[in-house]
Every structure is written in structure tokens, then in C-alpha cells.
A and B are shown apart, each in its own frame.
Chain A
Amino acid sequence: MDLALAPETLARWQFGITTVYHFLFVPLTISLASLVAGLQTAWVRTGREKYLRATKFWGKLFLINIAMGVVTGILQEFQFGMNWSDYSRFVGDVFGAPLAFEALIAFFFESTFIGLWIFGWDRLPQKIHLACIWMVAAGTVLSAYFILAANSWMQHPVGYRINEKSGRAELTDFWHVLTQNTALAQFAHTITAAFLTGGAFVVGIAAYHLVRGRRPRDIAVMRSSLRLGLLTLVVAGLLTAVTGDRLGKIMYEQQPMKMASAEALWETEAPAPFSLFAVGDVDKGHNRVAIEVPGVLSFLAHDNFSDAVPGINPTNEAMKERYDDEFGLGDYRPNIPLAYWSFRWMIGFGMTSLGLGVLGLWLTRRRFWLADRLRTGEDDVPRLALTRDRELGARLGGWYWRLALLTLLFPLVANAWGWIFTETGRQPWVVYGVLPTSSAVSPGVSQGEVITSLTIYTLLYAALAVIEAKLMIKYVKAGPPELTESDLNPPTKIGGHDREDSDRPMAFSY
């Protein structure tokens, strides 16, 4: 059969499309849940209206987003069985448990408390209602942990043995699966990247409102949001870089092929250079053009500027020797240009966002090293102060705001490339060194069936993307909602209004 339409290829495309799509919503859900919870906490503690308006504004965007995350997640739970039945049979004993834990512990948490939060504004005491959104936030993080532990097992299988009789992997040490360094590093990297994403999202939208801002009351909301977003973006961005470095070092040990491909490093070199740009020839196994920074790759892999980093060709030979008797795959290289460029795009987009965040945090500072005349009040759009006395010119300032708006997209792109890198970089394995991807697909599912599902999901997801984006833009443009009497003085508050009135309309309905 034509390789391009082989069920394996189609199933991989479907998994790639549906998972990358799902992961557009996941990081925003994780981070916005906590940010909204933080804002609501500020409202409960200070009673300042701008925090409640911010909670409602960001909360609405959060809900538009989480709806998509939830529904696209349903498919993920079943896709393994549908398209990857041989994978499921082989790994179910190990891989199923974290998934079941995720559903039992995290999904129930999220889904139940989100309902309480949405409809509970006038039904629950203020602090209990606040606790609900924190529960949602905890649920999202727990969920990330379990699914990343499962994925880490595919990257670096531990705590199992192969049962020769049944021909499947069997769990021997669940604790090891949950706490191996790959899982912890992936979790740290993914969560920090999620907050980078959420921070950039808040920064982008707040910047948009501050530039267009007309109503002082809205500016106060957006100004606080901007600072919160910038702080989140910068702290999370720095941590993303640190955790990414840590994860990279682990990968150099566990999957040298993935990392050599990420650098298009064909031969082992000591010291190894970091590649800035390369045009390679995959068949001949070398680069035609390469611009490199000497020694930096050795540093990324080993924390020094001299040690050897194994190249693609020798690693491939070593893997042939080790695995060919059992698996006979013949070639253990992933798609090298894809690995090389996805790695760069992940880092490039993520770090651009961080750079803009650092710049923004500096430019919009309120007091530090700032002349009095450049200081602004809570209701004013912050002035972009480059030095103590000097403001950024109108033109440059305009560019900064525009870039700040654009930055909300960058981490989304970086996340997608990060997953594409780590998953395609593991090929030809689905479970590294244990199960080749070609042995994982469902033998009973026909080409026609996979084409059908691939087409339906792609079209459905495209349509939903348009609907979601339009809705998001509409609510972004509308700005923070005005507060009602019931918002400020909910009946559940002590001394609140009409406590016993059974005909009182709901504060919120679908």
C-alpha cells in the first residue's frame, strides 16, 4: 500500500492533528484557572471592584477555552483503543493506570467544580465559591501530571517487564513510573510553559485594551491584568527555559538520537557546536550548509564546553546493532529536518515571548528608577519608560504594544512545535526501544475507516476553531463586564439580599 495512505500514517496524522489541537486549549486552561483563581482571591480579600471585574472578564475567556479543551479531551481517552489497539494491548497494563487515575482523580475534580463555579455565584458562600475555582485549578494540574507520567513512560519506559508468554509489557513498579526523572522534568517543563502561555495571553489582551482604552474604569482592570500577565510570563518563561534545559539533558542520556537530530549533528563531536542554521542531506548523512556556535551543544548536554555529544550516524549504527535482531527496523532515525526545525521553533517562539515579557515588565514599571513625571496612576495607561527620564517614542511605543498583542500567539505555536518535536523525535518508536510505531496500529481498522475519522475530525475541529476564535474575539472586544447589584452583594453573603426568595432569578443561566 502507498505509504502516504497506510493506516499507520493516517492514524499518526489523526493523532497528531487531534492532539496538537487539544493542546492549544490545555495550557491556557491550566494557567488561566490559576490566574482567575488568583484574581478572585484578590477580590475576596480586598473587596476592590477591579479584581471582580477582572475575574469575570478572564473567567469568561477561560470558560470559552476550557469547553474546547474538555470536549477535545474526550476523544483522546478513546483514540488509543480505536486507532492503536495493538499499542493498547501491549501497554495497557502499565499505561492504562495513570489514565484511569487521571479520570478518577483529576477529571471528576475539574468537571464537577467548574459547574459549581459557573452556576454558584449566588448559590454558594463567597469563600466556598472561591475554593471551587481553586479546585478546578488543582484538577488541571493533577491531570497534567498523570498524563505526562504516562507519556514519559513512552519516552523512557521504566518499572515494567516484558512478559514473554503474553507478549506485553507488565507493570512492576508504579511509583517508579510516576516519579522517574523524565516524568518530573516533563511535568515541570509543561506546567511552566502553560503559565508562559497564560501569561502571554493575558498580556496580549490587556495590551490591546490599554491601547484602545477609553474608560478609566476598564483601564484599571487591564492595567492590573497586564502586570499580573507580565509577571507570570517572565517568571514562567525563565522557569520554562531552566526546566527545558534540564529535560534536554535527560533526553541526551535517554534518547541521544532525538537530541542529535534536534541539532542535525551527524557525527560525534567534542566539543560539540550548537547549530543556528543548517541545510542537510539526509540520504548522505551530512549538512551542506551549517552555521554553528562552537562548544554550546556540549554545554547543553553536559554542562561543560568540551565533552563529546554523539552524532546521528554513529547513534544509528549503535541502535542497529542493538535492536535489529529483535525489531529489524534497519533505520532508527526520526524525520531529521522536522526534529531540527521544530526544536528551533519551539525555543524561538517561546523565548521571543519571554523577551517581550521582560521588556514589558521593565517598560511599564510603576516606581523603580522612574522620574515623577513618568509615573502614572491606577486608572492611567502606563507610560513606557526606557530609562529614568526617557519615555519610548510614540512610534516605538506603538510597536511595543502591537508586539505585546501578538505575543499571545507565540507560546501557542511554541507548545505545538514542542510536542511535534518530542513525539516525532522519538520515532520510529512509540515506546522507546520497546515497541515500534508500526506494530502499534489497530490491525482491524481499515484504511477507509481511518480516512473517514481523520476527515471528520479535521473538518469538525476546523469549524469549531472558527467558532471559538470568533467568540473569543467578541468577548475580548467587549471588555470587562459591568458589575450588578447581585455581583457585589450576592444573597449568599452574610447580610446579603433576599435570602429566602425562591422566585429570585438565577445569577447565571445558560
Chain B
Amino acid sequence: MPTLFKDIYEDTLEFVRTFGAFQLFFLRLVRHTPRMVVRRPGLIIKQIYNTGTLSLVIIMVCGLFVGGVLGLQGYSNLSRFNAEDSVGAVVALALLKELGPVITALLFAGRAGTALSSEIGLMKATDQLSAMEMMAVNPVRRVLVPRFLGGVVAMPLLVAIFTCIGLFGAHIVAVDLLGVDVGAFWQQMQLSVSADDVREGVLKSFVFGIVASLLAVWEGYNTIPTAEGVGRATTRTVVITAICVLILDFMITAVML
């Protein structure tokens, strides 16, 4: 038993230590942000391209099919109560408030988050970060901050695109294939969706963008500099981001209800 308590104590201590280091790391990124935004916007724009533009295909394809499934399920269930005209409202609320931000964040973690982690991890493993340090260039500022900011900016844009494409997918299925009235589809949506719903989605997309990007650069920066270490960091990025996104989604939803 003493060994068990000792293990729990040491694990707790390690967790607290890591969490503290994580918060300090976040503050370091925030501290360097204004300078990078003003002096090196080109680096940030390049990373918005890398994390955002290069994720567009997967986001659009997934958005289309998620919207299509929502349209199909919405029609199938609402038609039992002769409420199939409300399918537009259901799809819009689901995408705006929940599925848009959450699924985009999960896809972002899988596509851009892993790319960020592995890129930074490999830079560490091949001494590129040490070389920058030796050239008196702060790698946190030069490498991590642009990647972090690129993800933070890209995420809300990707969520917006995912939601729009999702609505388009739902429209194709519900209106074009299943025969829901096009006027009712859009009118119900307009009546049901309020500015608060949009705000909730936007807030979630920002929070998820910060969390997903922060975890990706943190894991990459703290990689054990070996091939196995980079692989582990990449996996951890996806797993931890997914868990954090779902927990935060619940918390934000609970607060905003």
C-alpha cells in the first residue's frame, strides 16, 4: 500500500508540474504574440495557409457528408411528427452550436495538429531548434508563435466553412432529394437560429482553435528527440486534443445554456 500511495503522490506531483509548465508555455506564446503580429505577419500568414488552406479539402468533404447525414436523419425523424419542414432549423442549430466546432476541431487535430507536432518534433530531433538558439534566434518566437497563431486564426474560418458546406449538404439531401419545401427549409432556419447560437459557435471555434494549436506546438516542442518520440508526440496530440475539445464543449455548452 505505501508504494501505491507513493505512486499516486508522484503521479499527482508530475501532473501538477506538467500542467504548470504548460501554462507558463502558453504565457510565453502570448507574450511574444504582439511583436510577431506587428513585425512578422508573413510568417503567420504562411502558417494560416499550412494549417487552414491545406485542411480545406478534408473539412469540405466531411462538412458535406455530415450535413447530408443530418438532413437525412432530421427528415427521417421529424417526418414522424409531420415536422419535416423544420429540418433546416435542426441542421443549422446542430452545425452552428455543436457539430461544426467539434468535428472541425477533431479533424484539425488529425490533419493540422499532427503536422505541427511532427514538424516541430523533427526540427528538435535534427537540432534545427538548437541551431536557431545558437544563431540567437528564439525558436519559441520564430517557430512556435506563428504556428500557434496560424492555427488560432484558421480554426474559426474552417468552422465557418464546415458549417456552410454542411448546410449545403443538408439542403441537397432534404430539399433536392427528399422533397422538403425550399422556402420552409430556409424560413425555419431563419426563425430558429438566433445571434446567441452563432456567438456560441464562434466562441467554441476560438477556444478549440487555441486548445488544438497550443497542444500541437506543446507536444512538438516537448518531443523526445527520436523517431519514436516524434511518433508518440503526434499520437498524443490527437488523443489529448480530442479529449480536451469534448470536455470543453460540454463546459461551454453548460455555461451558455
Chains A and B come from one and the same complex = no
- Listed in ascending order, the chain B residues whose CB lies under 8 Å from chain A are none
